[in-house]
Amino acid sequence: MSTNEVKECLNNLVATQGLFYIKLHQAHWYIRGHHFFDLHVKLEDYYDEITVHMDDTAERLLQLGGEPYSTLQEFIDHSAIEESLDNKYIPEEPFVKAVIKDFEKLRDELAKGIDLVDENNDDVTVDMLIAQKTYIDKVIWMLWAYTGRNALGK
């Protein structure tokens, strides 16, 4: 059940969630515009939830005998999401779209993880990843709706 491939997948998720947590803080601090008050609070909700996801993923990895990444450098080196300073001073709508794109990358990594872990018959980890993906899917839909688009960004 706890193959090296599964451990690597979970570890990469920890890195992606960890870096995304930092990027959501950046967005929370630097968001500007007419919807500042709403977005400032909402971004805090998002990074709080991503923290829970990261902790759950890391603790599951430990239960499987793995060693979760725990440094910023490891997060940068192994994350599916890229660190960026470009988002600091951009207008509100492109800022929100950049956050959506990172949520979509995380969603895609979760989907790959669900498939991989399911192939390895680890129902507990599959259940955890499905719950995380369910949350991410809803956030993506809500953020696209906020920008006046549907769940597919159209």
Q: Residue 89 domain-assigned?
A: yes
Q: Looking at residue 123, which CATH number applies to its domain?
A: 1.20.1260.10
How far apart CA 29 and CA 99 sit, in angstroms, is 13
pLDDT at 1 over 90: no
How far apart CA 54 and CA 102 sit, in angstroms, is 15
Instruction: Return the structure tokens found at 98.
Output: 């950049």
Q: Residue 151 domain-assigned?
A: no
What pLDDT sits at residue 106? 98
* Domain count within the chain: 1
Q: Residue 35 domain-assigned?
A: yes
Q: Residue 37 domain-assigned?
A: yes
Q: Residue 118 domain-assigned?
A: yes
Taking CB atoms within 8 Å and a gap of at least 24, the contacts of 38-44 are: 39/92, 39/96, 43/99
What pLDDT sits at residue 48? 96
Question: Is the pTM value of this prediction over 0.85?
Answer: yes
Alpha helices in 31-71 (DSSP H): 36-63
Which residue, chain included where needed, has tokens 């959501």? 24
Segment 62-121, tens digit of pLDDT: 999 999 999 999 999 999 999 876 767 777 888 889 999 999 999 999 999 999 999 999
**Full domain range(s) for residue 139:** 4-146
Q: Residue 153 domain-assigned?
A: no
Q: Residue 32 domain-assigned?
A: yes
Q: Residue 72 domain-assigned?
A: yes
Contacts of 36 (CB under 8 A, 6+ apart): none
Query: How confident is the model over 139-152, as a mean pLDDT?
Result: 88
Contact by Cβ (8 Å): 105, 133: no
Instruction: Return the structure tokens found at 7.
Output: 């451990």
Segment 26-75, tens digit of pLDDT: 888 888 888 889 988 999 999 999 999 999 999 999 999 999 999 999 99
More confident residue, 14 or 151: 14
